[in-house]
């Protein structure tokens, strides 16, 4: 993780590597809950609640509220890092004078709405895509795993074993991708043009 941070974040900040490790471990542990047998945790939740029809989602990353919450937290960090590095007016200039800029001020006034629309879409799409990517991949993986478990019957162990191994790799890969994209987005936030 330290090498990934050194490769992806080209500025000095003591917070990035520990934050990247925390993000990786947090998502990895949430995803790992998918390896607990499908019925155990929901049955335990139903037993504790006393309601046999109690709905309980085992894997937190299969809920878009959780993943989008993490994505928008990264968005908040991106805004914070940009303002900390460039100042508030630097942040406003980045939103209004980028990507189109003209030496004459009166032309820039006409370009501000276009630049702001493009930059707003660019900024908001990053946390949404970050959250929805993790949600979609984990939800699809859990759904397919449940379908395989339901269809296999007595051959469940033999047929589901390769999928379980693949799923363990996906769990790790999704945590790593979220961490790397966080590093890249924060690096882009502090880049000077």
What are 152-193's pLDDT values in tens digits?
665 555 666 777 788 788 899 999 999 999 999 999 988 876
- Model confidence pLDDT, tens digit, residues 102-116: 888 888 889 999 999
The packing angle between helices 105-152 and 156-190, to 10°, is 170
Catalytic status, residue 115:
no
Residue 160: its pLDDT value, please?
A: 62
Q: Measure the CA–CA gap between 118 and 98, rounded to whole angstroms.
A: 9
Question: At 87, is the pLDDT very low, low, confident or very high (cuts 50, 70, 90)?
Answer: very high
Residue 145 is encoded by which pair of tokens?
Answer: 């795993």
Catalytic choice (31, 115, 137, 187): 137
pTM of the model: 0.82
Catalytic status, residue 122:
no
Q: Measure the CA–CA gap between 52 and 144, rounded to whole angstroms.
A: 25
- Structure-model confidence comparison of residues 53 and 28, the more confident one: 28
Residue 82 is encoded by which pair of tokens?
Answer: 């940009």
């Amino acid at each position: 993780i330290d090498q990934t941070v050194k490769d992806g974040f080209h500025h000095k900040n003591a917070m990035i590597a520990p934050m990247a490790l925390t993000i990786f471990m947090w998502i990895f542990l949430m995803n790992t809950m998918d390896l607990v047998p499908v019925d155990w945790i929901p049955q335990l939740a139903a037993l504790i609640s006393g309601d046999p029809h109690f709905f309980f989602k085992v894997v937190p990353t299969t809920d878009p509220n959780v993943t989008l919450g993490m994505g928008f937290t990264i968005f908040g960090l991106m805004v914070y890092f940009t303002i900390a590095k460039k100042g508030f007016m630097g942040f406003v200039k980045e939103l209004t004078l980028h990507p189109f800029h003209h030496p004459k001020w009166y032309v820039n006034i006409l370009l501000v709405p276009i630049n702001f629309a493009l930059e707003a879409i660019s900024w908001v799409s990053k946390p949404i895509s970050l959250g929805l990517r993790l949600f979609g991949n984990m939800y699809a993986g859990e759904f397919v795993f449940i379908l395989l478990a339901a269809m296999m019957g007595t051959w469940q162990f033999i047929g589901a074993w390769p999928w379980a191994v693949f799923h363990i790799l996906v769990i790790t890969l999704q945590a790593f991708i979220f961490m790397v994209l966080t590093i890249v987005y924060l690096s882009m936030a502090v880049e000077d043009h």
